[in-house]
Structure 1
Amino acid sequence: MTSFYLVLALLIALALNHRRPQVRALGMGTAGLALCFMAGSIALAWTDGTFAAATGSTPVWLSIEALVLIAIAGAAFWAIPKQLRVAPAEAPPLRGTKAAYGLTTRALHWASAVLIFAAFTMGQFVTVLSPALPEHAMFLATHLAIGGAIFLLTFGRMIERLLRPSPPTPGRVKLAHTAGYALIIATCVSGLAMIDAPVDLYGLKLPNLPADPLAETMHRDRLPLLFGLFILAHLAGAFRAIGRMVR
């Protein structure tokens, strides 16, 4: 399952940044279907009794996420017809310049976005499902592996931003980028501090951090709240970007 999400995230990221509008439309459609699948799994969990014994705010968070996923998917589907009428764009440079972000930066950004939604959904299901169920171990293993991939992608994005030029951005945008990186790293680090064994990501073992009781509270309660607020604010900018893309 981990390989599926990693490949899917990479394909969507590359398609959304392709010069041909048909390929970008295909990427939008694929992303929309993937988001609908995640939202559908949450809806199914409500109907089959998965959330019946759940306590706390986890089911509420998942319900809010399902609505957000449907809204994003709807925006993606809405943009497809207009995207098909757009003239082919100039292929983005592989590396960033002062005039435009490079394909590497864009691909890492979109791949991380897809993986973050997948990791958050699976992490919430891990909280709800009983450890005795076989699905719990599957969701946990996939959640950890995807979280490890996000951790590495984030460092890759930071290195790319430091080594390559990028278009000038307002101070508030730079602050938002810094806050996003900080939230991702804090979430990944707190998750690593909750487990007993190193995370194995295709042979690359991420470090096993010392256990900390605060890590669980941060990873399951406080950081998801901050992350959710950040994503909602970020989505507002993304919707504006989609609007500019299809004009």
Structure 2
Amino acid sequence: MLDPLLLLALMGVGLLAGFIDAIAGGGGMITVPALLAAGLPPVAALGTNKMQSIVGTLMAAITYWRRGFIDLHRLVAAAALTFAGSLLGALTVSRLDTSLLDVAVPVALIAIALYFLFAPRLSDADRAARLPFGPLVPLMGFAIGFYDGIFGPGTGSFFTIGFVLLFGLGLTRATGSTKALNLVSNLAALAVFIPQGQVVWPVALVMALGQIVGGYVGARTGIRYGARVIRPLVVLVSIALALKLLLFP
């Protein structure tokens, strides 16, 4: 029997993580250490984290969609390939050497933070795309989905920088599209974790309640303030994730 006070604290953790995740991604940086501190085994912590976070991601995605910041028709193919990539990554992770990612991912996250910090024209306005959206966003979805299946940290940042830098979306639309593809990627991971029994359901459900509130409030905050809040939070989350991976792998 889990301590009710512990469950209440984890609900608060889910709320905070959902708020941050809805704006800039990186909520797992908060929830996974909290789950490990609560005594969950590492794999169960990862599975439980995916289950609770998907609720906040769904709430955020619905909120962005209802406000017109997600074009579902343009993302259908990308969603399908993101799911396939994430599922393939989750199924093959035990056969891959991911040690290179321990250094490559923090470097990439710091580069993303520097881009968002110093790029002068980042705003909510769409710009001319450098690459064609239709054929290449699905390829981006597959690649980042595969990465999410085998490793995970920074997935939201990679999606957002791709939508902004390569496909010309404004920051708020890029964040909304990121939530949609992140949702699909997490579903694929759960298709592996749930049959393996790696979800602690009482913890996941309690944290999901916090995620609902945090995801909704975070998405509304991102929509209301746009680039003014998304840009600095992406910088902070990317740097924090990079430092965590480098100093506390």
Higher RCO (Cα < 8 Å, 6 or more apart): 2
TM-score (norm: length of structure 2)? 0.29
TM-score (norm: length of structure 1)? 0.30
Choose between structure 1 and 2: higher helix proportion. 2
